[in-house]
Amino acid sequence: MAHTDHQTMRRVLRREIAGTIGLLTDEHDFRAMRRYRSFTFDDHATYLKQVEAVLKARAAQGTHTTLALFDPEDYAAYCAQAGLDPETPTSRTRFTAELAATGPTIPYDGRPLATLVPALVDEAVRQATWEYATTLLSRLGPCPTCGEDIGRAAFTRASELLVRILDTAPSGDRHLVCSVSGAPDTLVAVLHGDQDGDGGLRLDEAEVLELTSVLALGLATRSPGGLVLRTSAPDTADRVYGWRLRSGGLEPLTASEVFDAYCTDVESGDPIPPESGVDYSEPPDLGDESTTPRHRH
C-alpha cells in the first residue's frame, strides 16, 4: 500500500512539473546541430514529428510544456562561456533551461507545430525588436539643453499617444501597426486588442511594450515612420486611418493617403484592388498637445 501511495504521489508530481523543449524551427538551424554526434536526428521533418509526439504525450499526462527557440550559434557561445561540452545532452538541457528564463517562449496548447512554429518565431522577433529599440533609447542619453533623459521622455510620450489613440478609436477590435525607418533595418511593431462584451479592450502587455518602444524611438530620433490603426466590429465596415511620424510628432494622414498606402503593392509600386467593406478615413483629433512634441531635445 505504501509503495502504491508513493507511485501515485510521483505521478501527481510529474503532472505538476513544467518543462521546456528547445525547438529547431528551420532546416538551417537543424543542419547546424547535426555537427554534434550526440544529436541523432537525420531529417528535420522527422524531428518535428517526434517533438510533436512528445508534446502530445506530455499533454495527455497533464504536463505543461513550453516551447523555446533553440539557436545553435547561441548554444555554441553559451557552452564556450560556461565551459560546457556542447556534445552532451546535459549541456543542451542547461541551455534550454536558460532559454526558458530569458528567451522567447510560448506554451504548448495542443495546436499543431505547423501553427505553433510561426507563433514562436513571431515571439522571438517581437522580443528582439523590443530589446533593440530599448537599447537604442537608452543610448540617447540626457538632453544637452534641459538634462532630461531623452529615451525615458520619449517612452512616456509614446505611452500617452498610444492611450490617446486607443481611447479615440471607434468601438470594436483594434489592430495597430507602427513602423520606424532607420539603419540598418526598419522596425515594425504590431498591437492587437480584442474588445470584450463590456466594451473593455484586452491587450497583450508584451505587444504594448514593443510598440511603445518602437514609437518612442521614432519620436526621439525624428526618424521617418508611421502608425496605422484598423478597427473591426460586427455589422459595420472596417475603418482604417493613420499618422506619419514627422519632426518628433504625429501628423494625420488624409483619407486618400491611407487609401494609396493600402492599395499599392509595396515591392512593385503597382496598384492593387481595395478591400470591400473597408472605410479609409482621416484619424480622429488627438489634440494639439497629443500630436506635437513638447520639447525639442
User: Residues 123-147: pLDDT tens digits?
Assistant: 888 888 999 999 999 998 888 888 8
User: Is the bond leading into 283 cis (omega within 30 degrees of zero)?
Assistant: no
Report whether 168 contacts 286 (CB < 8 A).
Answer: yes
pLDDT category at 151 given cuts 50, 70, 90 is very high
Mean pLDDT for 14-42 is 84
Report whether 127 contacts 105 (CB < 8 A).
Answer: no
With 90 as the cut, is the pLDDT of residue 218 above it?
yes
Rounded (5°) CA angle 216-259-207:
30
With 80 as the cut, is the pLDDT of residue 158 above it?
yes
Mean pLDDT for 7-17 is 52
Mean pLDDT for 5-33 is 73
Instruction: Give the separation between CA 8 and CA 134, rounded to whole angstroms.
Output: 48
φ and ψ at residue 192, rounded to 5 degrees: -120, 130
pTM of the model: 0.77
pLDDT at residue number 13: 45
pLDDT at residue number 297: 57
Mean pLDDT for 226-247 is 92
Report whether 269 contacts 228 (CB < 8 A).
Answer: no
Task: Write down the mean pLDDT value for the chain.
Answer: 86
pLDDT category at 267 given cuts 50, 70, 90 is low
| Secondary structure E strands in the chain | 19-23, 65-69, 105-107, 173-180, 187-195, 201-203, 225-232, 238-246, 249-252, 278-280
HSE-up of 45 (CA within 13 Å, CB side)?
A: 0
pLDDT at residue number 216: 95
What are the angstrom distances between the C-alpha of 110 and each of 49, 114, 182?
Answer: 14, 11, 39
Instruction: Give the separation between CA 232 and CA 152, rounded to whole angstroms.
Output: 33
Among 257, 265, 251, 246, CA closest to 281: 257
* % of the chain beyond a pLDDT of 90: 56
Mean pLDDT for 145-163 is 91
pLDDT at residue number 7: 58
User: Residues 55-102: pLDDT tens digits?
Assistant: 998 888 888 899 999 999 999 999 999 999 999 989 999 999 888 888
